[in-house]
C-alpha cells in the first residue's frame, strides 16, 4: 500500500511560502531583532552578574587600601606603575582585593580597585 499524498499546487506553494517565511523570520530575528539562544542568554546573564560582583566589591578593596598601613606610600607606588594590568597585580599582591572568606584575591576586583584609586589620585 502506498500512503503518499498528493498536494494540490496551491497548497504546496502555501506550505513552501510558510517555510520560507519562517526561515526569513528566524534569520532577521537572530541577526537584527536581538533574539539569542538559551546558551547565549545564560552567558550574558553570567557576565552581568560578574560585573555586579566587581562593582559591589571594588569599594571594599578601595577602603581596605586606604585604611592600610602606609596607604600614602602604597598609593605613590601604585601611581608610579605604568601599565593598568600591573596596577591590578600590585593591588592583588597587597592583599586588598582578597575578600573576607576567600583565600585568593579577585583579579577583576583588583583591577577595578586599582582603576578607582588611580583616577581618584589625579
| pLDDT tens profile 46-70 | 999 999 999 999 999 999 999 999 9
Give the pLDDT confidence of 76-105 residue by residue, as tens digits. 999 999 998 999 999 999 999 999 899 999
Say if residues 94 and 68 touch (Cβ distance below 8 Å).
yes
Q: How far is CA 42 from the centre of its chain?
A: 11
Report helix, strand or coil for 55. helix
CB neighbour list of residue 105: distance below 8 Å, 6 or more residues apart: 91, 92, 95, 96, 97, 98
Q: Where are the alpha helices (DSSP H) in 1-122?
A: 9-31, 38-66, 71-80, 84-94, 107-121
What integer pLDDT is reported at residue 100 of this predicted model?
87
Sorting pLDDT into bands at 50, 70 and 90, what band is 121?
low
Within 10 angstroms of residue 1's Cβ, the number of other Cβ atoms is 2
Share of the chain above pLDDT 70, in %: 95
Amino acid at each position: 500500500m502506498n500512503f503518499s499524498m498528493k498536494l494540490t499546487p496551491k497548497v504546496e506553494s502555501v506550505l513552501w511560502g510558510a517555510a520560507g517565511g519562517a526561515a526569513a523570520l528566524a534569520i532577521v530575528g537572530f541577526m537584527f531583532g536581538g533574539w539569542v539562544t538559551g546558551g547565549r542568554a545564560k552567558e550574558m546573564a553570567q557576565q552581568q552578574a560578574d560585573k555586579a560582583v566587581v562593582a559591589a566589591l571594588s569599594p571594599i578593596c578601595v577602603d581596605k587600601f586606604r585604611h592600610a598601613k602606609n596607604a600614602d606610600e602604597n598609593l605613590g607606588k601604585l601611581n608610579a606603575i605604568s601599565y593598568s594590568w600591573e596596577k591590578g597585580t600590585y593591588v592583588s599582591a597587597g592583599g586588598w582585593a582578597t575578600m573576607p572568606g576567600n583565600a585568593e584575591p579577585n583579579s577583576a576586583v583588583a583591577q577595578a580597585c586599582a582603576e578607582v584609586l588611580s583616577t581618584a589620585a589625579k
